[in-house]
Amino acid sequence: MNVVKCTLAAVALSLPLVTQVQASCEAGEVKVVMSLVTAVKGHPKGETASALAERVNTQMNGRMCMEVYGSSELYNDDDVFQAMLDGKVQMAAPSFSKFSAYTQKLQMFDLPFLFDDPVHALDFLASEGAQKLREEVRPAGFVGMGFWSNGMKQISSTRVLRKPSDAAGLTFRVQPSDVIEAQFNQMGASTKRLAFSKVYGALESGEVQGQQNTWSNIYTKDFHTVQNGVTESNHAYLGYLVVMPASFLDSLSRDMREEFVALFELTTHEYNRFSFETNQLRRQDIIDEEVLVIRLTDEEKQVWRDTFTPVYDQFSNVVGQDLIDAVRAAKSE
Ligand code: LMR
């Protein structure tokens, strides 16, 4: 196999390293600080957050200002919840897997091969059933503002993975989700829960030998440069629940809250549609750097599906069979 690894310099040349959107907040303006673990530029979540900040800073100038900090510069996803409750940050968009301390239901998104593609996911996220999931974080003091989309996950490794059993004996970095752990266990692999900011170092040092993520996360964090291939499995969906502390929203005047929510909803609607395209661009960036991308035949893909079927037996009661049925029903013909 011909695997050429890119240099960090090449990555830096192709995508500027922007980690922040800073606003010059004036006295008297209400400040919204958003903390992200991902890149800001060239990433679906970062681009959506930047667009929202730009709108807030233009259209609500003098009353509200918004800053976005990316790449875990402020917090990791496990400590951002407390930072929000402490009033240090007013907005975050952790992936669904990061909410297991508050609800088991969002782990449904981690079920392998539940979503066919990002369009299917967006159709479900627009449904009444999905919108109700936003309420799951209310008892913990958060308002679920809405969903931001990333895309489908791929699996990268130091080994070339054509079938799930090729991963036997390897250790994969996972998000804090029992469902994801069960998925890798079905492959005969072990797992290690690590914050997103620790993944590159763990792959580079060999602490873990693989991970799963979207093209945009893999490319913007250089994971592909320390792996020997990426299997285009498209096996699960990565999306985010955007959360804000209820106490912060309650402290705003009604007009200001409504204006902010309207800008949030408009930006969400417009930018979620770009998430697929952004991931396809990052996929091409990876291919352009001559990293091995392993495309699966239909027969091979069926082996992956069959391998992961037992995960449903384990978790359909935990996440709720009704929710799984609702996702399947949301598939447009
Ligand atoms: C991860 O931890 O792999 C992702 O949740 C990062 C992200 O926010 O996309």
pLDDT > 60? residue 12: no
* Residue 297: partners with Cβ closer than 8 Å, 6 or more residues away: none
**What confidence score (pLDDT) does residue 2 get?**
31
Domain pair 9-103+129-149+239-275 / 154-236+281-329, same fold: yes
What is the maximal distance between C-alpha atoms in the chain?
62
Which three-class secondary structure state does DSSP give residue 108? helix
Instruction: Report the chain's mean pLDDT, rounded to a whole number.
Output: 93
More confident residue, 20 or 160: 160
Ligand 1 centroid to residue 89 C-alpha, Å: 18
Ligand 1 midpoint to CA 77 (Å): 8
List the CATH code of the domain at 9-103+129-149+239-275: 3.40.190.170
What value does the mean pLDDT take over residues 252-278? 97
pLDDT given at position 17:
53
Fold of 154-236+281-329: D-Maltodextrin-Binding Protein; domain 2 (3.40.190)
Q: Is 279 in the pocket of ligand 1 (CB under 6 A)?
A: no
150 alpha carbon – ligand 1 mean position (Å): 9
pLDDT (average), residues 247-264: 98
| Cβ(154) – ligand 1 distance below 6 Å | no
- On whether the CB atoms of residues 151 and 122 are closer than 8 A, the answer is no
CB atoms within 10 A of CB 240: 23
C-alpha distances out from residue 50 to 21, 110, 255, Å: 6, 26, 23
Q: Residue 18's pLDDT is what?
A: 60
Concatenated DSSP letters of 249-310: HHHS-HHHHHHHHHHHHHHHHHHHTTHHHHHHHHHHHHHHTT--EEEPPHHHHHHHHHHHHH
Tell me the domain boundaries of the chain: 9-103+129-149+239-275, 154-236+281-329
Q: Is the pLDDT of residue 72 over 80?
A: yes
Which pLDDT band, with edges at 50, 70 and 90, does 9 fall under? Answer: very low
